[in-house]
Chains A and B, each alone.
Chain A
Amino acid sequence: MEIKNEKQEYTITVYTENQVGLLNRIAIIFSRRKINVESLNTSPSEVQGIHRFTIVVMESRDVVLKVVRQIEKQVEVLKAYFNTNDEIVWQELALYKVLSDEITEKVKVERLLREFGARAVAIRKDFIVFETTGHREETNKLMEALAPFGLVEFVRSARVAIIKESAGFHEKLKDFEKREPGEEVIENEYLGKREAVFTM
């Protein structure tokens, strides 16, 4: 299997216990190597009580592999995966605040919002807040398009991602709860034979 090692976007998915301070433990692993975290999201996962971190970095595969192993080594981390963009489905959410006058006066703005599939989430006399979801390029485009019309505020959420090949964590957790994990607890099979083994 040919492995590309140039810097690219990797999405790291980490399943963890819910523990104070764990975010810091994970963040330290990146900052220690002077890696900038492009996006970070924590949320519940498909399994009750298990948290899921989604972290995006721009790095080479070699470095990401080492970082993921060091993340997985943390006591409260159950499992960490890393994937390239073609292995995941992901979305980001963006909010745009625009002055109501602008919208009502300029037909072009209305057309723009419709074109980008934006939804109004708050409508007030003075301003309106729109929302879109999509990839960064998509949410960026609307921001750029709105800029000339007095975009008052813009904010974008972290990436959330689903791994296409993943079967979820329910079954794996059962293996983790066993005292003697079976050979079945093989992970990241999509990453080639080598990585299959580093999990316990």
Chain B
Amino acid sequence: MEQKQLTGSQAVLEACIAEGVDTIFGYPGGAIMPIYDALYDYKEKLNHVLVRHEQGGIHAGQGYARTSGLVGVVFATSGPGATNLVTGLADAMIDSTPLVCITGQVFAHLLGTDAFQETDVINITMPVTKWNYQITDAEEIPAVLAKAFYLARSGRPGPVLIDITKNAQLQNFNYPGYTPCNHIRSYRPKPVIRKEYIDEAVALINNAKKPLVIFGQGVLLGKAENEFKKFIEKSGMPAAWTILGLSALPTDHPQNVGMLGMHGNYGPNVLTNDCDVLIAVGMRFDDRVTGRLDKYAKQAKIIHLDIDPSEIDKNVKADVGVWGDCKETLPLLTLGIEQKDRSEWLAVFADYTKQEYEQCIEPEMFPSKEEMTMAEVIRNVNEITKGNAVMVTDVGQHQMVTCRYAKFNQSRSNVTSGGLGTMGFALPAAIGAKFGAQDREVIAVIGDGGFQMTLQELGTIMQTGVAVKIIILNNQFLGMVRQWQELFNDKRYSFVDIESPNYVMLAKSYGIEGAKVEHRKDLVDAVKTMLAHKGSYLLEVMVGKENNVFPMVPQGCSVSEIRLK
């Protein structure tokens, strides 16, 4: 049989199609031109979104991956195109987001010669990719891309970068067809589940008087929301989330006791140091969650479920490490645990919630002072969306407030930069999130600082017509840093006073409708107008300049030393 001849570039696109990719975020340039030339003929099959900056492209890819559960695909050129991906790669690495990034590279014979737009992207991205590889011969393309997609999505997901030299993109070769990869001998996506550890964990849970479940993104990544719900419901245990675990369990679930960590809820933080068994599911004990480690849950037996063996004992020593995919380990635990009523223990959480509500939540959600608060904006959004929207946040005060107060009924609804804390993440991520969940309302909540980091992506919204709702919570400060300066640096406000352009006019120049709200009386209608609007929309809300986010676990303090004010 005569084999089909393809160019390397065509083989790249065939791989994308075979992997079920429908959207690519990218930006062309010299070294990736052959792939873009081939893309011209694939326009019907592959939707390419032209972003305004490669960082925007990769954050969009992340947003897409987070709402769709699929692999995000990003194209960029060599040199600056590739280096502009680095922040997004680091973000995707620490937040376990599946991405395949394809970068163009100079001709193979020019490698190492400081050619125009040459950069050693493989070595630059090595610490921030799950795997990366340089292709210099088109023959390698089908197998390497199959490996890339497999690695990105399997096991603990992560970003993969494939660098392809221009000669390989141009090269004609006998295309053997595309064979998906599902095994690499040196790679074990999932550890073997060990029954003895399941049994030990079950025994600990059954004997526990005050067990507390804390869960992270592992539940979402493992698509184990139902398994998780069954697990906590059978044993009646309270469950608290990390910000990446948010939306895996509906906000209104009676056992959902709230958010962990620095700006988390009062109960789960204090009671972490009171529970007798702490069951961590698909989370990695980030320092923002644990506070001071040597005073973290010392009284408790710790059960840690994770798919990544290197996470067990990394920060918190586990008494029982349950290696494995939580989609498989949770049902095994559920099978063994006893049905229990733990309403007394849940009532303790309710007690803390009441205190927090009176001292922190109510004054923020229903403020009596003249200035608007971030929380009341989110409350207004909740009232209309009923918790059905995808909320995309940037980094800072507005992020903490949104994660604390936004309501969620559905999984995969919270998109935020958790581990890396990348300001400028939200606007491009929201674009990607909308492409990944086209039938859902996507609302980006962004601070005035973060918005100005990647606002060029308004151009992407303009050109694609993607219906993203943008709320800028403008406090005229880099609020989180200002809050720390107020609390810990004697109000020495060092370079946190940030000015803004006229956002509504800016949006208008991109053909995006918008409004600005300065008084509470206009807020409800403004939110309604925004959400009723068909296309994209920008709403700027002027909030109190010096509002702080509380509760707060000050750095270097234990979680039980959380401050309500």
Show the binding face of A for B, using Cβ within 8 Å. Answer: 16-17, 20-21, 24-25, 28, 32, 65-66, 69-70, 72-73, 75-78, 173, 176-177, 179, 181, 183, 185, 194, 197-200
A65 near B185 with CB under 8 A, answer no
The answer to the question of B127 belonging to the interface, with a C-beta cut-off of 8 Å to chain A, is yes
Residues of A within 8 A of B192 (CB): 181, 183, 185, 200
What residue in chain A is nearest B182 (Cβ atoms)? A179
Residues of A within 8 A of B151 (CB): 75
Q: Can you list 18 contacts pairing A with B, beta carbon distance less than 8 Å?
A: A21-B123, A69-B314, A72-B309, A75-B130, A75-B187, A76-B186, A78-B185, A78-B186, A173-B185, A176-B186, A181-B192, A185-B192, A198-B321, A199-B309, A200-B188, A200-B190, A200-B309, A200-B323
Residues of B within 8 A of A176 (CB): 185-186
Residues of A within 8 A of B127 (CB): 28, 32
What residue in chain A is nearest B147 (Cβ atoms)? A75
The answer to the question of B310 belonging to the interface, with a C-beta cut-off of 8 Å to chain A, is yes
Residues A75 and B312 in contact in the complex (CB < 8 Å), given A24-B126, A200-B192: no
B191 near A198 with CB under 8 A, answer yes
A25 near B194 with CB under 8 A, answer no
A179 near B126 with CB under 8 A, answer no
Residues of A within 8 A of B191 (CB): 197-200
The answer to the question of B183 belonging to the interface, with a C-beta cut-off of 8 Å to chain A, is yes
A198 near B312 with CB under 8 A, answer yes
What residue in chain B is nearest A71 (Cβ atoms)? B310
A72 near B310 with CB under 8 A, answer yes
B309 near A73 with CB under 8 A, answer yes
Query: CA of A197 to CA of B131 in the docked complex: distance in angstroms?
Result: 24
Shortest C-beta distance, B206 to chain A (Å), equals: 22
Shortest C-beta distance, A79 to chain B (Å), equals: 9
The answer to the question of B313 belonging to the interface, with a C-beta cut-off of 8 Å to chain A, is yes
The answer to the question of B371 belonging to the interface, with a C-beta cut-off of 8 Å to chain A, is no
The 6 closest A-B pairs by CB, nearest first: A200-B188, A69-B310, A198-B309, A200-B191, A78-B186, A75-B131
What residue in chain A is nearest B127 (Cβ atoms)? A28
Query: CA of A76 to CA of B126 in the docked complex: distance in angstroms?
Result: 13
B313 near A65 with CB under 8 A, answer yes
Residues of B within 8 A of A194 (CB): 321
Partner among B182, B187, B323 whose Cβ is within 8 Å of the Cβ of A197: B323
The answer to the question of B356 belonging to the interface, with a C-beta cut-off of 8 Å to chain A, is no
CB-CB contacts of B290-324 with A at 8 A, as 1s and 0s?
A: 00000000000000000011101110000001010
Interface contacts beyond A73-B308, A173-B185: sample of 7 additional A-B pairs, CB < 8 Å, sorted by A: A17-B186, A25-B126, A32-B127, A75-B184, A75-B187, A177-B185, A200-B309
Partner among A173, A185, A197 whose Cβ is within 8 Å of the Cβ of B197: A197
Query: CA of A65 to CA of B310 in the docked complex: distance in angstroms?
Result: 9
Partner among B186, B194, B197, B309 whose Cβ is within 8 Å of the Cβ of A16: B186
Partner among B126, B130, B183, B313 whose Cβ is within 8 Å of the Cβ of A66: B313
Show the binding face of B for A, using Cβ within 8 Å. Answer: 122-123, 126-127, 130-132, 134, 151, 182-188, 190-192, 194, 197, 308-310, 312-314, 321, 323
Residues of B within 8 A of A17 (CB): 186
Query: CA of A181 to CA of B192 in the docked complex: distance in angstroms?
Result: 8
What residue in chain A is nearest B324 (Cβ atoms)? A200
What residue in chain B is nearest A67 (Cβ atoms)? B310
Query: CA of A69 to CA of B191 in the docked complex: distance in angstroms?
Result: 12
Query: CA of A144 to CA of B489 in the docked complex: distance in angstroms?
Result: 56
Residues of B within 8 A of A20 (CB): 134
What residue in chain B is nearest A193 (Cβ atoms)? B196
Residues of B within 8 A of A177 (CB): 185
Residues of A within 8 A of B323 (CB): 197-198, 200
Query: CA of A151 to CA of B494 in the docked complex: distance in angstroms?
Result: 59
Residues of A within 8 A of B194 (CB): 183, 197
A70 near B310 with CB under 8 A, answer yes
Shortest C-beta distance, B480 to chain A (Å), equals: 26
Residues of A within 8 A of B183 (CB): 179
A75 near B186 with CB under 8 A, answer yes
Shortest C-beta distance, A86 to chain B (Å), equals: 24
Residues of B within 8 A of A66 (CB): 310, 313-314
Residues of A within 8 A of B182 (CB): 179
Query: CA of A162 to CA of B82 in the docked complex: distance in angstroms?
Result: 42
Residues of A within 8 A of B123 (CB): 21, 24
Shortest C-beta distance, A52 to chain B (Å), equals: 13
Query: CA of A16 to CA of B186 in the docked complex: distance in angstroms?
Result: 8
What residue in chain A is nearest B192 (Cβ atoms)? A200
Residues A21 and B310 in contact in the complex (CB < 8 Å), given A75-B131, A75-B187: no
Shortest C-beta distance, B387 to chain A (Å), equals: 37
Query: CA of A183 to CA of B191 in the docked complex: distance in angstroms?
Result: 10
What residue in chain A is nearest B318 (Cβ atoms)? A194
Query: CA of A176 to CA of B122 in the docked complex: distance in angstroms?
Result: 27
Residues of A within 8 A of B310 (CB): 66, 69-70, 72-73
Query: CA of A28 to CA of B184 in the docked complex: distance in angstroms?
Result: 23
Residues of B within 8 A of A21 (CB): 122-123, 126, 132
Query: CA of A66 to CA of B192 in the docked complex: distance in angstroms?
Result: 19
What residue in chain A is nearest B314 (Cβ atoms)? A66
Residues of A within 8 A of B131 (CB): 75
